[in-house]
Amino acid sequence: MNKSIVLILTLMMSARAMTLAYIGSTGSDTAGAPPAAWLMPLLGDAVIGISALWIAYLLLKKTGLWVWTTIVVWNVLSIWDSLSAYIISITAPWPDFFMLQTFGSSMFFMAAAMNVVILLIVCQKEYQDRFLG
């Protein structure tokens, strides 16, 4: 059950790759374009989203200390990216982003919470035994 939760949450993170669609217009004068300050969080989301598929593969097929460490570091970076995007949203609002219109600032904390759940599960003895044992 926990393995399925980790896999599902990791695959859900791949949706963050949608930010690739916005990177090119960041800082431009076009209607709805993200402010220039959003470039870093958009790039971070793109990296997290694309690499989520690789992390899911590691979860399914590989073991070892390097795999467990990669999963932990990826989740920590994802949390950092979510919280830094929250700070950017306060200092340089992007009111036209549909995700902010739908979920508001809670979307940043929901994403971070998903990573915290993954971390809590992979740090349990059962998972450590699987990857490190």
Q: Contact, 6 vs 59, CB < 8 A?
A: yes
Q: What is the DSSP letter of 124?
A: S
Asked if 37 and 91 count as a contact pair (C-beta separation under 8 A), the reply is: yes
Q: Which two tokens stand for residue 67?
A: 């795999």
Start-to-end CA span in the chain (Å): 20
pLDDT the model gives residue 27? 94
Query: What pLDDT is recorded for position 85?
Result: 95
Instruction: Give CA–CA dist 52/27, Å, rounded.
Output: 27
pLDDT at 123: 95
**Which structure tokens are listed for 26?**
């960041």
Give per-10-residue mean pLDDT for the chain (133 aa). Answer: 94 96 94 94 97 97 95 98 96 89 93 98 91 80
Q: What is the pLDDT of residue 61?
A: 95
